[in-house]
Homo-oligomer: A and B are copies of this chain.
Amino acid sequence: MVAEGVISEEEAVERIEPMQLDSLLHPTLDPKAERTIVAKGLPASPGAAVGEIVFNPDEAEKLAAQGKTVILVRIETSPEDIHGMHAAAGILTTRGGMTSHAAVVARGMGRPCVSGAGTVHIDYDAQIMSSGGETLKKGDIITVDGTTGQVLKGEVAMIQPELTGDFATLMVWADKLRRMGVRANADTPRDAVQAREFGAEGIGLCRTEHMFFDHERILAVREMILAESEEGRKAALDKILPMQRDDFTDLFEIMKGLPVTIRLLDPPLHEFLPQHDEEIAEVAEALGTSAKKLNYRLGELKEFNPMLGHRGCRLAITYPEITEMQARAIFEAAADAGQKTGDPVDVEVMIPLIAAREEYEFLSEKIIAVADAVQGEKGVKLNYSIGTMIELPRACLRAHEIAISAEFFSFGTNDLTQTAYGLSRDDSASFLGDYIARGIFEVDPFVSIDTLGVGELMEIGIKRGRETRPDIKLGICGEHAGDPASIDFCEKLGLDYVSCSPFRLPVARLAAAQAALRGKKAKS
């Protein structure tokens, strides 16, 4: 219609519902490939995915963290399975329709999903699923086709989506119209490649902890955690340094001079230790220590409320040597990748969970010292900045002080929602249903930003941050950044960019363009 002059590019961009793009963005099964159909359910969320069967969301998350691709198979899902659904490449349920929890959430996440495959019988205890005489066990490979509702044995060949033709044209129009930048959250080179394909203008969040879970390096990470002295920790960190540096070098080379925001280690240390007796014994042996000692350290690290515990910048303040190792890995990689590709690396070092200026400055000084050292050693001038996540109410209130030293703010609206409401996302499942049913919440505040509460904290943070530093760079990373309603709010706030998961980039690009158009209309 644009070609025919019936509607303008602007009108075309306005007419498309961003969430509809989702179906265009997923791999589809090769129509020529052979298919062994195991079961059939509802085509609950489009796209196809292949991976190993896992029946437990915790395990899905763990395996995904180790770089495995998994299909989460459940009788049905509930909100406490969300982390496993996020971690899975695809989802299969045996119960529930097109509006079941699994179906709705999978569509929201852009995960292929087959729901209500009633012939499949799952035995959680035995860790097997059977259907039509076929029995598959945990770890077996299956393919789910959320476009047709088929469940297939083994790996079926797939066709990657091509973002060409009308889709590409629409994206070009959207990109011309939007004001905000669009970045991706990408932890691995694979994510980064995908991000670039989907039009990312940079990486807005690289979570470094995911790199720690890798099979080869987790041992050194555990050695570090169990070390009894700073020297012991440093020795273990020295082993991690080259691996972490290689990760960053790859990322920087792929991003070719586009900005890359790297967040320093965030989760509490107990997340890196084994939890079950068997695994504890194994790990103790591998580390040359005793299960008793490992259990003791586990006991020491145990927390009542890990979300509010010894994590983020607090960890870095207790163990500055972790930050120093990470900063060195980042800056050495930036120097190397810049020299190799000829594109100077634009790296932004991001400190998580800041509540007070004093925390920020304690750490930023250490990071600057490492940058100075690396610049001296390598004889290069690095292009870097240091900034912080704004994810705690107190950080919003004290933003004018934090901005004295911080060069950018990236809003972490997931944690900001958790703290503003005093509400753990992982635990909210048990009552969020009642809240929605009784009209107490109109929408789940973890899906769309609560503009009245969390949003006002963001406004305060922006206003005060800019009072000190008028040109402070402002972004948002996390799941809200892929939600059209939240993107519209970010446009109103005047953020510089949104950073979402790679698959959500087209949605974000379109939503950002629509938000900009709405903003222009509201002004005129």
Identify the A interface with B (CB < 8 A): 300-301, 303-310, 314-315, 317-318, 353, 355-356, 358-359, 362, 391-394, 397-398, 415, 418-424, 426-427, 430-431, 434-435, 438-441, 450, 452-454, 456-457
Contact = CB atoms under 8 A, between A and B. Distances in A.
Nearest to A305: B424
Question: 9 tightest CB-CB pairs across the interface, nearest first?
Answer: A308-B424, A394-B453, A305-B424, A393-B393, A309-B427, A392-B422, A358-B440, A305-B305, A305-B307
Contact of A438 (B362, B391, B415, B421): B362
Given A305-B308, A427-B310, A317 B438 contact: yes
Given A309-B427, A397-B457, 16 more contacts: A304-B427, A308-B423, A309-B424, A310-B427, A310-B431, A314-B431, A355-B421, A356-B440, A391-B422, A392-B421, A392-B422, A393-B422, A393-B453, A394-B454, A397-B453, A398-B452
A317 B433 CA distance: 11
A304 B425 CA distance: 9
A419 to B, nearest CB: 5
A306 B304 contact: yes
Contact of A440 (B317, B392, B393): B317
Contacts of A457: 393, 397
6 contacts: A305-B306, A355-B420, A356-B441, A356-B453, A362-B440, A418-B422
B418 A308 contact: yes
B393 A304 contact: no
A394 B421 contact: yes
A84 to B, nearest CB: 14
A300 B427 CA distance: 11
A234 B454 CA distance: 37
Contacts of A454: 394
A106 to B, nearest CB: 22
A415 B427 CA distance: 17
Given A392-B421, A431-B310, A434-B318, A305 B355 contact: no
B355 A398 contact: no
Given A304-B424, A419-B420, A421-B355, A430 B310 contact: yes
B392 A420 contact: yes
A431 B304 contact: no
A456 B305 contact: no
Contacts of A303: 424, 427
Most buried by B among A304, A305, A353, A457: A305
Contacts of A359: 440
B318 A431 contact: yes
B418 A393 contact: no
Given A392-B422, A421-B392, A457-B397, A434 B304 contact: no
Contact of A308 (B307, B358, B393, B438): B307
A230 to B, nearest CB: 13
Contacts of A310: 427, 430-431
Nearest to A80: B304
A430 to B, nearest CB: 5
A67 to B, nearest CB: 24
A55 to B, nearest CB: 16
Nearest to A303: B427
A434 B317 contact: yes
Contacts of A309: 424, 427, 430
Contacts of A307: 304-305, 308, 422, 424
A423 to B, nearest CB: 6
B422 A308 contact: yes
A357 to B, nearest CB: 9
Contacts of A304: 306-307, 424, 426-427
